[in-house]
């Protein structure tokens, strides 16, 4: 007996078959076990579909009953949690003694420690891990290609195997010619009395220079110690950089710790966790730095410009000292030949002890925020930003209408979107940083970072559209009816993020929810496209 087609069974399961077809199908099912199992599966699918549609209808009715209360409750819930977190952070920060800032996870020094430790770990160890992975993959692909090529040559051109073997022997016998001296080992040294008449590029565990380098030193690794002389510049991306000798050029340091006991003939530019100019250390030019801790017990001949968690000066600065810091302490016998300008949060954060000499003017600038709501230009620029967001939203809807399918009728959807948005906020920049470690992955990392920045801007537009659609009960957005809900939502979001006292809390919540909406709708549309 011939089995009916699957289309007939589908119509039977859906209840759309004619009475004659129903009779024929049931007669066949009584005698065919395989067809019975097929029909049972189709009926099960229909039951699941009906249950899903009923759940969606109930959710829609619940959303209509809640109206604006659903998303409002969601935002208020997140706002309450965030407020409690901020209060906890503020209390924890206040109970730490001032001298234990490095232990306080909410202190500027701790943020410097965390950022430098994380970046240096990725630079020093992340590169090795990624390089090992890429190298293993490259060797695997190379082995596959070589094996395939050898098999093809052996099968098709057996005479070519002799030529290939001879070529491999020639390659193995050839020695690479290079003018670069390579020194291997955990410890690389340029001993006293040796002169390297070239630029030294190094990467490894420990580099010690007791002799002379007539060119520049470009170093990346764990530890660099200069006890001899470098006649050029020093560019260091390492864990620790110690200069006990002489660098006749300038120093560019991205390290965890920069310690100077010797002399720098040029200027020093440092983005370092801790900068220490020890007694006897001297910088003939300027010192421009960003750090967790800056301690100057030696001498800087010209200007010092510092952005640091703490600044301590007991030595000599030839000209001006300009510091933006959490705490600034000048203790005797500190000497500043020019002006002293301190940018701090409170006047009590600056301590100038007796015995300190300042040749120029001394001023302490306290960061005081003026009231932006009293200035007309505040409202002008808010209107400009709102208009730009509106135009961007309309263009984005024309190009990618599927991004605006998300809704925020219930508090659960708001919280779920915020959770997804948090992952979207955190993961892409970390992935871009890991990709940027290698030269091959740098373009991909930059493109990923650029897309992430664009997504941050578009997040509030997606939230505004969802809020406007919810208030006006627009379920299927179309271009003709999309402009008004978008404008209404943008006005609400703009007012909310600029509210006094709580606006700075609402703004990041809007970004999180918008990122979550965009990611969810984008992935849903992609799955639908790939499933077709």
Task: Compute the mean pLDDT over every residue in the chain, rounded to the nearest whole number.
Answer: 75
Strands of 158-267, DSSP E: 187-190, 195-196, 200-209, 212-213, 217-226, 229-230, 234-243, 246-247, 251-253, 257-260, 263-264
* 399-410 pLDDT tens trace: 888 888 777 767
* 293-313 pLDDT tens trace: 999 999 999 999 998 889 999
* 200-225 pLDDT tens trace: 887 778 899 999 999 888 887 788 99
Q: Is the pLDDT of residue 179 over 80?
A: no
DSSP letters of 375-412? Answer: -HHHHHHHHHHHHHHHHHHHHHHHH-GGGG-----SHH
Residue 105 sits at the vertex; the CA angle it makes with 100 and 107, to the nearest 5 degrees, is: 65
CA distances from 488 to 104, 132, 140, 271, 464 (A): 43, 53, 57, 45, 8
Q: What is the pLDDT of residue 93?
A: 46
Query: Which value, in Å, is the radius of gyration of the alpha carbons in the chain?
Result: 34
Q: What percent of the chain is modeled with pLDDT above 70?
A: 67
Specify the pairing of strand 263-264 against strand 282-283: parallel
Check: pTM over 0.85? Answer yes or no: no
Strand partners, 195: 212
Q: What is the pLDDT of residue 197?
A: 87
Q: What is the pLDDT of residue 264?
A: 96
Q: Which residues contact 306 (CB under 8 A, 6 or more apart)?
A: 287, 289, 290, 291, 294, 321, 322, 323, 324, 325
Residue 231: CB atoms within 10 A of its CB come to 17
**Which letter, b or e, does each residue of 132-153 get, where b requires 16 or more Cβ atoms within 10 Å of its Cβ?**
eeeeeeeeeeeeeeeeeeeeee
Closest C-alpha among 517, 479, 325 to residue 403: 517
With H, G, I as helix, E, B as strand and everything else as coil, classify residue 230: strand
pLDDT grade for 51, boundaries at 50, 70 and 90: low
Residue 283: CB atoms within 10 A of its CB come to 27
* 146-165 pLDDT tens trace: 555 555 555 544 444 444 45
Q: Is the pLDDT of residue 63 over 50?
A: no
- Of 118 and 487, the structure prediction assigns the larger pLDDT to 487
With H, G, I as helix, E, B as strand and everything else as coil, classify residue 103: coil
Lowest pLDDT segment from 69-83, 255-269, 324-338, 478-492: 69-83
Residue 328 sits at the vertex; the CA angle it makes with 322 and 334, to the nearest 5 degrees, is: 80
DSSP letters of 305-365? Answer: EEEEEEEEE-SEESS-EEEEEEEEEE-TT-EESS-EEEEESSGGGEEE-TT-EESS-EEEE
Q: Is the pLDDT of residue 265 over 50?
A: yes
Q: What is the pLDDT of residue 124?
A: 43
End-to-end CA distance of the chain: 34
* 476-525 pLDDT tens trace: 666 667 888 889 889 999 988 888 878 888 888 888 888 988 888 888 77
């Amino acid at each position: 007996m011939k089995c009916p087609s699957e289309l007939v069974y589908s119509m039977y399961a859906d209840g759309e078959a004619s009475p004659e077809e129903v009779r024929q199908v049931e007669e066949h099912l009584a005698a065919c076990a395989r067809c019975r199992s097929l029909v049972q599966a189709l009926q099960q699918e229909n039951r699941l579909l009906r249950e899903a549609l009923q759940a969606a209808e109930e959710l829609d009715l619940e959303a209509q009953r809640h109206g604006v209360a659903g998303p409002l409750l969601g935002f208020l819930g997140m706002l309450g949690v965030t407020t409690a977190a901020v209060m906890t952070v503020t209390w924890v920060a206040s109970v730490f003694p001032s001298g234990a800032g490095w232990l306080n996870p909410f202190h500027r020094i701790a943020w410097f420690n965390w950022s430098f430790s994380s970046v240096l770990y990725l630079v020093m160890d992340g590169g090795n891990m990624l390089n090992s992975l890429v190298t293993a993959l490259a060797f695997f692909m190379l082995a596959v290609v070589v094996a395939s090529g050898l098999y093809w040559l052996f099968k098709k051109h057996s005479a070519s195997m002799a030529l290939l073997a001879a070529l491999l022997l020639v390659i193995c016998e050839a020695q690479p010619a290079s003018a670069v001296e390579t020194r291997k080992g955990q410890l690389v040294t340029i001993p006293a009395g040796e002169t390297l008449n070239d630029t030294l590029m190094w990467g490894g565990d420990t580099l010690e220079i007791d002799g002379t380098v007539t060119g520049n030193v470009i170093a990346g690794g764990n530890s660099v110690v200069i006890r001899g002389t470098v006649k050029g510049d020093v560019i260091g991306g390492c864990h620790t950089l110690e200069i006990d000798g002489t660098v006749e050029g300038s120093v560019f340091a991205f390290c965890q710790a920069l310690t100077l006991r010797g002399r720098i003939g040029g200027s020093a530019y440092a983005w370092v966790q801790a900068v220490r100019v020890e007694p006897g250390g001297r910088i003939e030019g300027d010192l421009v730095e960003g750090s967790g801790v800056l301690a100057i017990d030696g001498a800087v001949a010209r200007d010092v410009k510092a952005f640091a968690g703490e600044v301590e000066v007991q030595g000599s600065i030839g000209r001006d000292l300009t510091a933006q810091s959490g705490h600034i302490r000048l203790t005797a016998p500190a000497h500043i030949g020019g002006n002293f300008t301190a940018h701090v949060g409170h006047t009590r954060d600056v301590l100038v002890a007796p015995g300190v000499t300042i040749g120029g003017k001394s001023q302490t600038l306290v960061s005081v925020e003026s009231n932006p709501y009293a200035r007309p230009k505040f409202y002008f620029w808010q209107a400009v930003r709102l208009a730009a967001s509106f135009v961007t939203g309309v263009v984005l809807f024309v190009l990618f209408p599927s991004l605006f399918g998300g809704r925020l009728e219930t508090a659960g959807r708001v919280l779920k979107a915020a959770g997804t948005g948090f992952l979207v906020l955190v993961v892409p920049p970390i992935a871009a940083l890991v990709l940027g470690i290698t030269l091959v992955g740098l373009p991909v990392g930059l493109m990923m970072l650029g897309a992430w920045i664009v997504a941050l801007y578009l997040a509030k537009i997606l939230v505004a559209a969802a809020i406007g659609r919810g208030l006006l009960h627009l379920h299927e957005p179309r271009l003709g009816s999309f402009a008004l809900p978008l404008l209404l939502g943008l006005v609400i979001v703009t007012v909310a993020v600029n509210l006094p006292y709580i606006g700075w809390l609402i703004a990041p919540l809007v970004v999180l929810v918008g990122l979550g909406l965009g990611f969810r709708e984008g992935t849903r549309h992609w799955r639908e496209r790939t499933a077709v």
